[in-house]
Amino acid sequence: MNRLIKIEIFKLLKRTRTYLSIGLMVILVALIFWGLKSQGESALDYALQTLNRDFLVSGNILNGYLAIYVILNTLWIHIPILIVIVTADLFSSELESGTIRLILTRPLGRSYYLMSKYISSIIFVIIFMTIWAIISVLPAMLLFGKGDLIVIFEGLQIVEEKELFTKFFNAFLFAILGMSTFAVFSVSVSVFTRRSLNAILVTLGFLVISTLLQTMAPTIFKGWESFLITHHLAKWQFLFYSNPANSEVLSSTIWLVIFSAVCILASLFRFRKLKITE
Amino acid sequence: MRIIETNKLNLRYNNRQILSDVSLTLKSGRITTLIGPNGAGKSSAFRILAGLVKPEKGTVRLDDIQLQSFEELRNHCGYLLESPDFYSYLSGKENLELLIQISKSKTDSEKLLQLVGLQNEGNKKVQHYSRGMKQRLGFAQVLINDPDFLILDEPFNGLDPEVKTQMLAQLVTLKNEGKGILVSTHLLEDMETIADDFVLLNKGRVYLKSNMEDNLNEKQKVVLHFSKSVKNLKQYYPENLFENNKIILMATISETEALLNDLYKQNFIPFRISRSSILHDKYMEITNESAN
């Protein structure tokens, strides 16, 4: 299996698409920094207008931690899109180009082959998210400095600077889990759709619809939201509560793992029967 | 001697019978040619042998041992299935090395590239390869792990005559090294010079099985072409047909040899000799049937 995973990573590193996705992520983060640097102060003053009436806000509010928190919000849509354009293509591109036939005429089980795709997609997510974390944290600290974090999420949350490293570290770990689940989902979709473009569209369609359902009709889906992957992907925000809702985060972690396992099992079953000679 | 025997392979797809009771035998040190018109089921048979398609019915034995599935053959065979598809964004060498790693082999990719004449093109990305170059790379990957059997579906597609001749010679070398080779092709004449066994497939059924020994002992149509008139010879060989500068006869190989010796003595040397084969005749019969 190690051998297969190494080969998959080698192929990933040789593909233009991989660098395109990482390049777009760098541009996205750079644009956020540029926006915060040029208009962050005025936007923050506007947002804190009401607060300033009742409280005396002192210190550096537009600090590096707030910048990272803003960047974390790209986990809703932007980062999943950039990940999916790479991972949804991992399996289906081999079906489309016919290389799967070349590989499977070697003494190699289908399950091993597909599992190597899943593992390499998760490794890609880890690499991608690590780069994302590095290019977010370092410039944020250099450009905006340190300070306490004030966020408005289900009320006003003020998190002291000393707690922030752990909270952001956990948020990044949770983000890796969330994005890995999404990557696993996209690989599974590609086993069923056979075509890369279809797999990308179906996965992104699922993301958009799931997000819409969650935000537009929360009352209708009350009780059902656990089945929406986006509901769990957003749980990193709970880590920034003054009293972190650890049980919520843990519950979503379990849901994401179960969701990934179901996706993998379903596609392994499908792949065993899949005609690869068409 | 190693033997692969498939027994009564049946395959249905979309309610259409693709293969019916197809039995094939591959022996080490022999080249078996599978021929037949397009749609005869040749590629389907190859896909079954590669374990890519499961037959509806049929079994396979390797050296008298019944295998559980065709996938088990992969440890003993090298496959070239139609036009091979490689990773276009990798070089030829990288493609080979990747397959070498998957096969847990220690084969040297450089040696393989040299064997197929791609040693100077190995670092070029496959997207810049011509069809013939891809075919040669496909042939190189077949030899990874030094398999006992080679299963080659249309290996000469897209090859120029020079490379085709080299590959034919390569097949003979591999056969002499003891490899069992199964080849599907439309190049009847070329294969007749190197193959030992022939299987003619039509509409998913085995239409004819033959071997080189049978072919040589059969009386077949022989045409001797001369650069001068041979009418004077008619009196010596009244049983044969004389047509302008040609002698047309029905003869076995040894009878043809005897006649040629005779003609040489009389200073009649044909510049071209053509001999049809059962295989060729049957193949034409099938093709004509399909055309009608």
Question: What is the SS3 assignment for chain A?
Answer: CHHHHHHHHHHHHHCHHHHHHHHHHHHHHHHHHHHHHHHHHHHHHHHCHHHHHHCCCCCCCCCHHHHHHHHHHHHCCHHHHHHHHHHHHHHHHHHHHCHHHHHHCCCCCHHHHHHHHHHHHHHHHHHHHHHHHHHHHHHHHHHHCCCCEEEECCCEEEECHHHHHHHHHHHHHHHHHHHHHHHHHHHHHHHHHCCHHHHHHHHHHHHHHHHHHHHHCCCCCCCCHHHCHHHHHHHHHHHHCCCCCHHHHHHHHHHHHHHHHHHHHHHHHHHHHCCCCC
- CB B122, CB B94: distance < 8 Å: no
Residues in chain A within 8 Å Cβ distance of B75: 107
Domain match, B148 and B231 both: no
Q: Which residues of chain A neighbour B42 with C-beta distances below 8 Å?
A: none
B53, B54, B77, B85: best to mutate for the A interface, most A CBs within 10 A: B85
**CA–CA dist B259, B230 (Å, integer):** 14
Distance CA B175, CA B169 (A): 10
3-state secondary structure of B286: helix
Same domain, B206 and B224: no
Contacts of A93 in chain B (CB under 8 A): none
Residue span of the structural domain in which B115 resides: 3-215
Average pLDDT over residues A163-182: 87
Instruction: Judge: A108–B89 Cβ closer than 8 Å, yes or no.
Output: no
What is the arithmetic mean of pLDDT over A44-56? 61
The answer to whether B175 contacts chain A (CB < 8 Å) is no
Average pLDDT, integer, range A270-278: 80
Domain count, chain B: 2
Q: Which two tokens stand for residue B37?
A: 């018109």
| Structural tokens at position B86 | 């490689």
Interval A159-170 mean pLDDT: 80
Compute φ and ψ for B155, nearest 5 degrees: -70, -15
Q: Which residue of B has its CA nearest to A116?
A: B102
Q: Are A134 and A172 in contact (CB under 8 A)?
A: no
Q: Which chain B residues are within 8 Å of A11, Cβ to Cβ? A: 87, 90, 98
For residues B236-252, average pLDDT: 79
Which residue range(s) make up the domain with A171? 2-272
Backbone phi, then psi, for B259, in 5-degree steps?
Answer: -65, -40
Q: Are residues B254 and B204 in the same domain?
A: no
The answer to whether the Cβ–Cβ distance between A14 and B94 falls below 8 Å is yes
Distance from CA of A20 to the nearest CA of B (A): 15
Longest CA–CA separation in chain A, Å: 72
B101 touches A: beta carbon within 8 Å: yes
B24 and B122 part of one domain: yes
Residue A278 lies in a domain: no
Tell me the C-alpha distance between B30 and B178, whole Å.
Answer: 8
pLDDT at B185: 84
Shortest Cα distance, chain A CAs vs residue B161, angstroms: 26
- Say yes or no: B115 and B235 in one domain: no
Least confident range of A49-63, A170-184, B178-192: A49-63
Q: Which of B87, B139, B148 to mutate: most A Cβ within 10 Å?
A: B87
Among residues B215, B244, B266, the one where a domain terminates is: B215
Q: Which of B56, B121, B154, B213 is catalytic?
A: B154
Cβ atoms of B275 and B222 closer than 8 Å: yes
Answer yes or no: B154 catalytic.
Answer: yes
Cβ contact B75–A107 (<8 Å): yes
The model's pLDDT over A230-263, given as tens digits with 9 standing for 90+, comes to 888 877 777 777 666 777 788 888 989 999 999 9
Interface contact flag, A101 B88, Cβ < 8 Å: no
Q: Where are the beta strands (DSSP E) in B109-204?
A: 149-153, 180-184, 197-202
Share of chain B above pLDDT 90, in %: 16
Are B273 and B201 members of one domain? no
Which range (A42-46, B25-29, B89-93, B179-183) has the least confidence?
Answer: A42-46
Task: Say whether both B83 and B209 belong to one domain.
Answer: yes
Q: Is the domain of B194 the same as that of B258?
A: no
The pLDDT of residue A51: 59
A105, A117, A274: best to mutate for the B interface, most B CBs within 10 A: A105
Given B152, B185, B215, the domain boundary residue is B215
Residue B79: list chain A partners with CB under 8 A. 105
- Decide: B9 and B22 in contact? Cβ < 8 Å: yes
What is the Cα–Cα distance from B41 to B204, expressed in whole angstroms? Answer: 5
pTM of whole model > 0.90? no
pLDDT of residue A183: 92
When scoring A4, A86, A102 by the number of chain B Cβ atoms within 10 A, the one with the most, hence best to mutate, is A102
How far apart are alpha carbons B78 and A106 in whole angstroms?
8
Residue B214 pLDDT > 80, yes or no?
A: no
Residues 57-96 of chain B whose Cβ lies under 8 A from any Cβ of chain A: 74-75, 79, 81, 84-90, 94
The pLDDT mean for chain A works out to 83
Q: Which range is least confidently modeled, A51-65, A92-106, B272-286?
A: A51-65
- pLDDT bracket for residue A60 (50, 70, 90): low
pLDDT of residue B291: 60
Task: Give chain B's mean pLDDT.
Answer: 85
Residues of chain A neighbouring B51 (CB-CB closer than 8 A) = 104-105
Domain count, chain A: 1
CB B33 within 8 A of CB B185: yes
With beta carbons less than 8 A apart as the criterion, state whether A142 and A63 touch.
no
Contact B11, B152 (CB under 8 A): no
The reply to whether B114 and B229 lie within a common domain is: no
Instruction: Please report residues of A whose CB lies closer than 8 A to that of B99.
Output: 102-103, 106
Question: How many beta-carbon pairs below 8 A join chains A and B?
Answer: 59
Q: How far apart are CA A225 and CA A210, in angstroms?
A: 9
- Asked if B75's CB is within 8 angstroms of A3's CB, the reply is no
- Tell me the average pLDDT across B74-84: 86
CATH number at residue B283: 3.30.70
Note whether B47 contacts A277, CB cutoff 8 Å. Answer: yes
- Does the distance separating the beta carbons of B74 and A107 come in below 8 Å? yes
Both B33 and B52 in one domain: the answer is yes
Q: What is the pLDDT of residue A225?
A: 73
Q: Would you say the ipTM is above 0.90? A: no
* Residues B238, B191 share a domain: no
Q: Calculate mean pLDDT across residues A147-156.
A: 69
Percent of chain A whose pLDDT exceeds 90? 20
| Last residue within a domain, chosen from B185, B200, B215 | B215
- Decide if pLDDT at A56 tops 60: no
**Are residues B259 and B193 located together in one domain of the fold?**
no
Q: Does residue A225 form part of some domain?
A: yes
Which of B85, B86, B90 lies closest to A14 in CB terms?
B90
Whether the pLDDT of residue A37 is over 70: the answer is yes
Tell me the HSE value of A110 on the side-chain side, using a 13 A CA sphere: 17
**CB–CB contact B101 A99 (8 Å):** no
Sheet holding B3-13, edge to edge: B16-27, B3-13, B57-62, B65-66
**pLDDT given for residue A59 in this prediction:** 61
CB B109 within 8 A of CB B145: no
